[in-house]
Structures are given as C-alpha cells and as structure tokens.
Structure 1
Amino acid sequence: MTNPAPARTVYKLPQVTALFWVLKIAATTLGETGGDLLAQTLKLGYAAASLLFLAIFVVSLIAQLRARRFHPALYWTVIAATSTAGTTMSDLINRGPGSDTSTDGGLGYGAGAALLISGLAIVFVIWRFSGQTYDVSNIRTLRGEMLYWAAILLSNTLGTSLGDYLSDSSGLGYGGGAALIGTIMVVILLAHYCTPISGVVLFWMAFILTRPLGATAGDLLSKSHSSGGLGFGTYGTSAVLLAILVAGIAYSHAKAARTTPENSDDDLIRAIE
C-alpha cells in the first residue's frame, strides 16, 4: 500500500515589497473616494452603499478563497472591496444610514472606534488561539486566510473612523491628518530597520495605518477647497487611483509571468469544500 501524498500548499498572498505598499495605499485611498462617491456624491446613502460593497466583497472573497494560486488582480480586488466596504460601514456606524456627513444619526467616532477596536481585537485573539500564524508570508491554510481577511475588513473599517476623526474632528484637517499618519508610518519603517521589534508586529501596525492614511489622503484630494481639500472631486480622484492600481496589477502579472513558480499548479491549496 502506498502512502497518500502529503498535503501541498502554496502562497496565495503577495510578497511584501515596496510595490505592495504602493498598491495598498492606492487601494485604501480609492476605497475612501469610491465609497464617498456612491454614498455621498450619488446620494446612495451609507446603508445601501455598505450592502452593495459587502456583496462585492463576499463574491470576490469567495473567488479568492477558491483560487488555486495567487492572482494579483483578484487579490487587489478583494483589498479594494474591503476598503470601499470599510469606508461606508464606518460612516454607517458613525453617522447613520443616510448620506449626511454629521455624526448626529450614528454612534459618533468615539463609540464607533471602540466597537471596531473590540471587533478587531476579538479576531486577533481567535487567530492567536487557532494555531494559525500572524506572519502573512506563511499563511497557507483556508482558516488562516479567512482570519486574514476578517482582520483586513475590520482594520479598514476602523482605519476609516480614525481617518475621519483626524480630518473632521481633531482640528488637524485633511493635510494635517495625512501628515501625522505618514510620519507614524515613517517611524515604523525606521523601527523595522533599526530596532529588534518583531517584523510581524510592525507589518500589522503599518498595514492598519495605511487605511487612515488613505482616508485622510482621499479626503484631501477629493474634498472642495472650501472644505480644506484640493478639489479634484470623487470622480477624478477615483479615476486616477484606479489607473495607478490597474498599472501596478499589470506590472505584478508581468513580473509573475517572468518568474518560474516554486510550485506547479498541482501544488495548489485546497478550495472551499
């Protein structure tokens, strides 16, 4: 009797490179402007926009989980979906179901952030006791990937709340909020190269902070001059960010095509049963 072949695994997540961070910031900024485009500019409202973006997220996530290898376009579609859904879900929690930018109809930034922090903490606790690794370079199981995406969705929603608070209520404004988050991310980068702090911890800190950076940068680019923004609008800003994202994905595909994969298509991860 022959022994069954051992289960094989592949990487379904991208390598963390400079391009990864460029695309992550572009996707999160697009999530802010895209979410505002539907919910505010087109007056769809936060509740309806959240349902739409959550549906897109679920469909794209199922495709990602069932995929047998890493597909750049699919991965970044899910990331963009979490960013747009995170934008409108955060606004729904903080501001209410309509399209108003005040917090009178919602929980407000403080209570909303507390709720989202609790949810994200619960995900990381479950992750810790599930036996799965936090190291994104070693996530190779279905359970680990599902926890990864749950953390991303909640962190993007939380990051939107933080970004909106910095832009609207802290007195920093859009530019000041973006500068503050950008400075913190530079400190994290320096800590990566100059301190013994765990790279996994620093990765998740930077990953979470890209969302408020995207939120403040997106508002800075799209809001009117009278509101403290640069006045490019949600249409123009979203179009430029989408072009950057598409160009980066195309480059990733071209690079992957030039690289011989370590595992063949037979060494692919198990899809959802």
Structure 2
Amino acid sequence: MGDVEIRVATDDDFEPMVRLDGLAFGWTWPPEQHETLRELIDLDRFRVAVDAGRIVGVAGAYTQEVTVPGGALVPNGGVTWVAVAPTHSRRGILRRLMAELHRDVDARGEPIAMLTASEGGIYERFGYGVACHLRVVEIDRRRAQLRPEFRPEPGSVQPVDPDDPRLPEIFDRYRRTRVGEIGRSPVDERLFRLHEGAGLTGAIHADGFALWKLEAKWNRGHPAHQLTLHDVVALTPEAHAALWHTVLSVGLVGPITSYRAVAL
C-alpha cells in the first residue's frame, strides 16, 4: 500500500481517469465527448492513486451549492468519479483518496460534502449519512390522467428546447424554496446535456418546466414508447399540475419512468 501514491490529477491523467471510471461504473463517455468533458471538470479537485505509473484509483468533486433550512445557500463539495481498480481493492486506497478529497473540501471552506452512493453501505465509513432517498416512479400512461378540475388552461404550457436560457432561471428560483436542493452551475448544466442531451425534449410553464426522453417501442403495431422523465420543476401547484398534464398527454407512450427525485 505504501508504494501507491495519492496526488492531484494532471492533464496527463485525464484519459486513464475516464477509462477507470468506465471500468468501475459499466459505461463510458464516447471519445468525441472527451474534449468537452475535460473542459468541464476541475482537475485541481480530483485525486488519483498511482501504482508504478498507472492510475489505479480516482476521486473528485464538483463545486456546488445546497439550500439549507432558512433558505441560505451553502457551498458544498459534490463528490464524484470515485473508483478503484479491481486489481487494487481492499488495500486502503479508497480511504486514502477520500481523506485527501475531504482535506481539499475543508481547505476550500465548504462545510458539506455530498454524493450519490452507488452502494448504500460504503460511505458511512467516511462519515456520510442519508440525506434523501431516490424515488423510482413508474406510471402506465394509458391508465393515468388528471381529473378535469386540475387540467390547465389552454396555452399555459408550451414546448421548450432543453437549452432554453429560461430553464436555469426557473430552476434557480425553485431550488431556493427546497431545503436540500443542489444548485446547478453552468458546468452542471453542460455535463447533463453532454450525458443526456441527445433526444431530450420538454415543456415550459411560467413557473416550471419538465424534461424527458422517448425510446420508441412499436411492439408490432401496438406502440408503447418508453418515456423517461428527467425533471419536473414546479414552483406552484398550478405549474405542477399543468406540467404533469403535459407529460401524461405525450402520445404513443406506455410506461413513464423517473429515476430522480421529481415532485409527485
């Protein structure tokens, strides 16, 4: 273990980091996205474990803000890209990476470190506790509709491009009303578009928006497309109902699924 060096990542480490991330999580960034991805991450916030010149571990953080009780916005380190090569597991490398990462978070004056746990039992060892639960929502669109009294006025919801500059402004208003909501910096928005942007579509209301993707499922003439809902952001009950009415009105859809903490 003593021969494994933990240090700040450099430009030369980027491609090995991407490969290790793909090995650990079972998916990869397409090569044509690597240049943009490199522009979006701050390597000063990443630590790598190096054994005999080879990257065998990585952990990093994004600069974020979180809303706390009372409405204040507090800086936090958004921990990400945590991976150790299977050849080097159970050698204390993960603990050393996390310790270095936490020292950096402290040095930046961020009182909170947050992450989405890939496995629930890992991060209690490093001082983390459960802040919220991911809710998976599945709806059969053919069996769901809003009651007539909750249906929106015609014209209150319009189609929107996912890159529309109004969406970040609406989300910024929204996140200030929700304790625990994490802000989305321009870097966060670009990372999301890089990862999920192809095929993304949406709808906008004066006080909210929704974003989703469709996967065609024609089923030999019995269409039941898969709608994956990425966001329902609503500041008012009226916006909430109007956006859900729109989502439930998308044609040729069977299942609607959300893997994020949307407002239901």
**Shorter-chain TM band:** under 0.3
TM-score norm. by structure 1 comes to: 0.22
TM-score norm. by structure 2 comes to: 0.23
The structure carrying a bigger helix percent of its residues is 1
The structure carrying a bigger strand percent of its residues is 2
Bigger relative contact order, structure 1 or 2 (CA pairs below 8 A, ≥6 apart):
1
Q: Which structure has the larger Rg?
A: 2
